[in-house]
């Protein structure tokens, strides 16, 4: 039965996704005032700190980076509300930050 097989993306859907990833289209997002301010500040800091002046870094750039990061780690998003989704993602980030650096020497092992 077709219903028993796992869903597969059609090749045309894959092609459409590939084509869509190369173009930008507007997606309007409602942000809180503090988010708008901090987003603009972050974009300006990143823009000012560039070592190579290849492309402008704007609030939209930062949003696209954040969206790509979330989509790449979509499996860590768990919850029924914005608050729960944010908490699950932040818990994931905290777990990453707790990991020891791979190239750090464990003090228990010595040098």
pTM for this model (two decimals): 0.69
CB 46 within 8 A of CB 57: yes
**33-89 confidence digits (pLDDT tens):** 999 999 999 999 999 999 999 999 999 999 999 999 999 999 999 999 999 999 999
**2-23 confidence digits (pLDDT tens):** 555 555 556 777 777 777 777 8
């Amino acid at each position: 039965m077709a219903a028993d097989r796992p869903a597969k993306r059609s090749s045309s859907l894959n092609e459409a996704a590939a084509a869509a990833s190369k173009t930008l289209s507007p997606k309007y997002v409602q942000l809180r005032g503090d988010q708008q301010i901090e987003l603009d500040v972050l974009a300006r800091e990143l823009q000012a700190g560039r070592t190579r002046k290849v492309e402008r870094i704007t609030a939209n750039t930062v949003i696209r980076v954040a969206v790509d990061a979330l989509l790449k780690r979509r499996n860590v998003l768990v919850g029924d509300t914005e608050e729960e989704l944010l908490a699950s993602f932040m818990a994931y980030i905290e777990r990453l930050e707790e990991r020891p650096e791979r190239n750090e020497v464990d003090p228990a092992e010595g040098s």
